[in-house]
């Protein structure tokens, strides 16, 4: 007891040593605690769904609708990627995205990021391809305007070709080691509320036909570009979308690379996006 009494008297007696020790404790203890928490806490990145497509297809409107539940919210053309954190419910009784969002019981939901990328021709490839390489990516929603697809078919199919080819190469890159997680694609045919909109079946067939034409055109361009004869076979095959050498393209050819492509119609303006939401939920 006498030793303890002397120690307490030493601590309570003002001295240079006591001030130094106290200052070290005050400044160093929070730092030590911080590093301990950082080392022992398992940080995980949220899975993500990538939202891509040509301009004015409704990507930002869909993101706003899923985030706020308001299909009439004003949107603008995106210049940079933006993401929102959303919740997918494990409750199969939740039949709409609005019902799923209201369920917040512990353990009954999973969170993910919906990432919207610019559709402008000078911006989209850079941002989209960066996210396609991400390890957290679980699916891609490619939005098209079904009401004006005839006028914008070439642009919509060209960008889609780049996206599918990037996924195809991504899968092929893992054949010599652990195969990467399969990334499926939803082609969301938007604006079916409009009289001029094509049904999902025609959106599918039109895109497949245009992708086939793009494939042939790019193959011919490679042959005409002066690539060495010995390199033509490998170069052409690397940039050939789907089954190599096939005469016509179909989305079913992407299954060879573990890529499933679905075409589903809907309307952001009318809030008819539940089939898209169900597709997203199955990926998370």
For domain 48-283, the CATH class is alpha beta
Measure Cα distances from 46 to 114, 142, 178 in Å.
10, 20, 21
Phi, psi (rounded to 5 degrees) for 14: -60, 130
The answer to whether the CB of 240 falls within 8 A of the CB of 164 is: no
According to DSSP, the β-strands at 82-89 and 184-190 are unpaired
Residue 228 CB burial class (10 angstroms; 0-12, 13-18, ≥19): exposed
CA of 65: how far to CAs of 58, 132, 138, 221, 270, in Å?
10, 23, 20, 42, 10
pLDDT on residue 260: 94
Positive or negative torsion for Cα 79, 81, 85, 86 = positive
Structure confidence at residue 68 (pLDDT)? 82
CA distance 100 to 109: 9
Q: What is the pLDDT of residue 229?
A: 45
Q: Are the CB atoms for 63 and 77 separated by under 8 Å?
A: no
Q: Say how far apart CA 284 and CA 276 lie, in whole Å.
A: 13
What count of other Cβ atoms lies within 10 Å of the Cβ of residue 48? 21
Residues forming a β-bridge with 267: 272
Residue 190 dihedral angles phi and psi, to the nearest 5°: -90, 165
CA 172 – CA 187 distance, rounded (Å): 22
Q: One digit per residue, pLDDT tens: the chain, 284 residues?
A: 776 666 656 656 776 775 676 666 777 777 776 665 545 444 458 899 999 999 889 898 999 898 887 655 555 555 667 888 888 876 654 556 666 555 554 557 788 999 988 755 556 666 677 888 788 899 999 999 999 998 899 999 999 999 999 999 887 654 555 666 788 999 999 999 999 999 999 999 999 999 999 998 887 765 555 555 455 455 566 788 888 888 899 999 999 899 999 999 999 998 899 999 999 998 88
pLDDT of residue 141: 96
Q: What is the model's pLDDT at position 156?
A: 93
Tokens of 170: 């991504």
Listing from the earlier edge strand, what are the strands of the sheet with 137-145?
82-89, 109-116, 48-52, 137-145, 184-190, 261-265
Cβ-proximal residues to 258 (8 Å cutoff; 6+ apart), any chain:
171, 179, 182
- Which residues in the chain are classed under CATH 3.40.50.300? 48-283
Tokens encoding 108: 């009954």
- Concatenating the DSSP letter of every residue in 87-127 gives EEE--TT--SHHHHHH---TTSEEEEEEEE---STTTHHHH
CB 111 within 8 A of CB 87: yes
């Amino acid at each position: 007891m006498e030793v303890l009494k002397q120690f307490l008297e030493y601590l309570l007696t003002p001295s240079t040593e006591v001030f130094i020790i106290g200052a070290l404790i005050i400044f160093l203890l929070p730092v030590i605690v911080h590093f301990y928490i950082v080392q022992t806490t398992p940080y995980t990145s949220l899975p993500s769904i990538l939202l891509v497509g040509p301009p004015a297809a409704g990507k930002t409107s869909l993101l706003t609708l899923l985030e706020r539940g308001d299909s009439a919210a004003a949107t603008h053309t995106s210049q940079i990627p933006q993401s929102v954190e959303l919740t997918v419910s494990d409750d199969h009784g939740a039949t709409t995205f609005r019902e799923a969002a209201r369920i917040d019981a512990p353990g009954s939901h999973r969170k993910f990021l919906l990432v919207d990328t610019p559709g402008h021709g000078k911006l989209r490839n850079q941002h989209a391809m960066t996210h396609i390489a991400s390890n957290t990516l679980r699916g891609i929603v490619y939005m098209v305007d079904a009401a004006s697809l005839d006028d914008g078919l070439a642009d919509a199919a060209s960008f889609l070709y780049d996206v599918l080819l990037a996924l195809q190469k991504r899968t092929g890159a893992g054949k010599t080691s652990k195969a990467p997680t399969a990334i499926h694609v939803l082609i969301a045919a938007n604006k079916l509320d409009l009289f001029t909109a094509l049904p999902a079946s025609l959106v599918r067939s039109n895109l497949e036909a245009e992708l086939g034409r793009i494939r042939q055109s790019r193959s011919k361009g490679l042959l005409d570009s002066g690539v060495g004869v010995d390199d033509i076979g490998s170069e052409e095959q690397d940039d050939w979308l789907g089954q190599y050498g096939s005469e016509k393209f179909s989305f079913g050819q992407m299954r060879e690379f573990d890529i499933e492509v679905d075409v589903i119609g809907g309307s952001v303006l009318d809030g008819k996006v539940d089939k898209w939401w169900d597709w997203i939920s199955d990926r998370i």
